[in-house]
Amino acid sequence: DADAATSLGTAFHRLAQLAALAWRPGCALERPDVARQRALERSCGLSAEQRDRLDAALERWFASDIAARVGVCESVSAEAPFLVRVGGPCDAAYLEGEIDLLACVAPAGTREQPAGSALVVDYKTAETAEQLHEKHLPQATCYAYAVLMEGYAQVECVFVRVEQDRADTPGQPQTVSYRFDAADAEEMGRALARAYHGHGQL
pLDDT of residue 201: 64
pLDDT of residue 79: 96
DSSP of 172-199, one letter per residue? Answer: SEEEEEEEEEGGGHHHHHHHHHHHHTTS
User: Beta 93-106 vs 152-165: how paired, if at all?
Assistant: unpaired
pLDDT of residue 202: 62
pLDDT of residue 4: 56
pLDDT tens over the chain, length 202 residues: 545 558 999 999 999 999 999 999 989 999 999 999 999 999 999 999 999 999 999 999 999 999 999 999 999 999 999 999 998 777 788 999 999 999 999 999 999 999 999 999 999 997 766 678 888 999 999 999 999 999 999 999 999 999 999 989 999 999 999 999 999 999 999 899 888 877 666 6
pLDDT of residue 105: 95
Cα distance between residue 129 and residue 116, in whole Å: 33
Cα distance between residue 98 and residue 122, in whole Å: 10
SS3 label, residue 13: helix
